[in-house]
Structure 1
Amino acid sequence: MRNLISKKERNLIMNSYIIDDHTWLKDLLETRPSLRISEVPEEHRVDFEYVVPYILKQCGDEWKGDESVLHPVEDLGDERRPCGLCGRENRYIYYIQNRLNGKKMNVGGDCVEDYVDIDFLREGNSRGKLLRRAKEIRKRSILNQRFPGIQNRIDTWLNRSGKSNVVLPLSIEEPYLNIGNKLQDLHNAFLRGEDNEMILNEMEDILNEEAGYITRFDEYIQLNKDHKFIATKSIMTWLENRRDRKTMESLKQYGFVTKETISFIWEKGFIERNIDSFNQLFESTIFKIIEVDFDNEGFVIQSDHSRVIMIIRFDKFMSNFGERVLGESTKAAFSDNNIVKLSSIYGSNSPYIFRDELKKKLKTWSVGISMTDEDAELNQVYLYDRRKKDYVQVKLSELIAEAKGIVFGLSNPDRKKFEKYVHEKEGKRYTHNELRDIRSISSQMANTPIR
């Protein structure tokens, strides 16, 4: 909304072609160096607020030229001449020329840069196009007298659904946008010259319906904004970043997270709104959520049966158990064994805690493990076969995947299955002395300074 025409803007307008179409403004500016809205008669204030911005843009475009205007035409030496726009005294004089009325105006080096726009000229902004736009601005004056701020109202109409964080379902949004686009089309048709009272009457009918649509919008948002499963703009942005168009389309269709979409959504706000439901799910297991790690995108969980901390990633949790948050069943049972299977150990100390607890569990078994701190850093561990009294090396990550259930006292793997895994593990076998020598050499190499 325009409240002031400055001195510089006043001088630009008074020398431009378009001012002759708006005599009320010309008359006011002829006797003033600048113009405030408080000085404008009531019958012209709507035009001042909503049409003058278009007039000013048109004025600027009328004077735009190529880079040749950047070369000063005159060097006045010790003399100075005021800029035709801002009034500043200048030694170097540049000239800009109006493309519609042919007027020339001397300007200074600062002001001239505002009127060099190569792209504007390349985009086909010809003299004819400028004249057509001048005609459109006259039409805008007619429209704004009948519908003050009409362009702002149309813009607000078309953008209203994007202002709230709540996603409106298509059943509400589509009719509203369709009629808003129709209003825009009627508006544009009038600007193009279809000076028809029927167009104005149809626009008026549409604008009279606006309040009803806004009420429906507001009621839906007020009713559902705190719903745990409401679709939000934050979820839509998150899905867009993941390029998940299919889930986005479904959310737009219904306005809510459903069993068809919940498996694909673990946006931060959604997780936070439903954390109580996630906690309740874990109440049926030996685990509980002790932290939500959004950086690593997962629930950090722990059991009273072990000091080992694990993380189950959001994507694995939601794809296997997400529907349970909605009260639906899932193909995968929400069991301790499945939770352990889908989780990985968490935190820098967990590998060592895992080692110590697994050793205790295996004390009476026919197999064991041997892992130093150095082994852990190298992601390796040695499985021990008590019957053959030999060791075989495996990756620590592989052992954790195989033996997680043991440290939590679960049935998978059972003793027979894990002992078979160790007994039959392929790879070079080492005696106790050989393993001791390997570690001794590794330790010496690690402590030898690099020269």
Structure 2
Amino acid sequence: MRKNWDRLQSERIERLGFKRDGQYTLKHKEDNKDKSTVRRYEPISISQRNLLINSEVTKDLPWLFELLKYNKSIINAKLNDLPTDQRSFFIERKQFPVVLAAEQEWIGDPYPVQIYDERVYSCELCGTKIQKLYLIKNIKNSNQLYVGCECIEKYVSGALASMGGKSAIIKADLERRRLNRMLELEENIPGLQEMLNWTPKDYRIIPPKKMHIDFNKIQSDGVSLVNQYVKKKSDRDQIIKLLKEWFFNAEEQRNKIELYILQWENHPLAATKEIIKWLKEHLKERDSKEIIDIIEKNGCITTSTIEHILEHNFLEKVSMPIIRQALDNTGFLIEPNHELRMFNIIDKTNRELFLSLQMSLLINFFRNQISKQRVETIYAEQIIAILQKHGVIVEDMSIQKFLEHFSYYLNVFGYKVSFWNKAYNEAFIWNNKERRFWKVELRKLLKGTKTLYFYRDREDIKVLASWVEGMSTLQRLERVELLNYLKEKSSYINNWFNSLMRFSVEKDKFKNALNEIINVDVVTYVDYDLEAMEKNRGVIL
């Protein structure tokens, strides 16, 4: 069958005055005398023909326009019927400059046209079936043609180069399709895009890590459903239904996080970005990572956080100076040679109170490091506000001086008991067996910088001086040294107490104020049971 077809075609071509010789060739009737003279020509392709009849350039060649308009393909018989000058137009290949001029009239859009149905389209240049439609437009006569991805390239070559090639256009097209689909989804589910982009990291308060993980998982499920909607052309109604259920769950989880952030906004033990930033700036990554992980896991400062802060490696670098400052402001005493055994210095009955005070002041210190304020300012302002609320007259004095007086006054009323209280109280037990031990401890006490924090009465100085005077075991020079020291401190204590008593005429007002002060964030959570805290590590104080 194939051989018969080729033979018939050859006979037809020869009958029309042509012969097949690798390419189509045209034999002029005028040149029959010299049959060896043959002139070659290349016919116009279908895509070139369709381009020319829609271009402005063919107006200068009306005969060419008519020829192309009524002939979908240029066959040799038609060319033989043309006049010699028109036939020579194809023989001399003059059609190609015309085609080139026509191509320059058209510009194309590198992005495909959005298709909303399932029909199969054909390229208006080459006629092939296509899946994506691209639009080209004539800048001279405003004609438009829809073409496929192969024909569009020559009309968007500049755009292709500027956008990074054909692959970049494909990616941009996918992104545009995604945006169009998202607009459709936004109409069905208002707030969908906002929910997909929402993150608790934009807030100052850091929620617990589990809340982060749960919400991130929900967000991933939502992104997966959106991708299915963008890629699939079927089952979109079912996907929209699933997305509505997803949006309800995501909104519920987001509300939980926002409620947590609102509740912890002004809490002194809340985990904040400022605290995390401060730890990162003042510690090496290795030292701060474990503490930051605990803070981010719990979403707040817990007992386990403080225990890690009090570890030896961390104390040596940063925490010990902070804790010492916090303790100095509260009146706690730390034996200089036993800083790393802090919990052994504070007796067990007051360890819980110490932990509460220290933790609250430590967090205040973090915050004031960031705001470049002193920790004493916040501490004092809260106390002064409560004192004034209960009618206590607070003398105008510096913050530091106020805190010194207040710390001492707390000890006067027995609100803080340090290790050295025991040494002081038992020093008055006239027991010869223990006298030597307490004499040594007392000398250490008197040489300390915070010596007088725990005296319960200004008359104790006189009693102590009398006791020192009568100690026969002390050398004369030692007794003189101690007495001079006590005399100096006695004068200081008298002035101190005179200033303190100006806080209020009635001590009951001061005591009532103290009962409220120990329940605020500065001196917080004193009613907790220490054993319960130790059993439940990580419980929020």
Question: Which structure has the higher relative contact order (CA within 8 Å, separation 6+)?
Answer: 2
TM-score, normalized by length of structure 2?
Answer: 0.31
Structure holding more helix per residue: 2
TM-score, normalized by length of structure 1?
Answer: 0.36
Q: From the CA coordinates, give the structure whose radius of gyration is larger.
A: 2
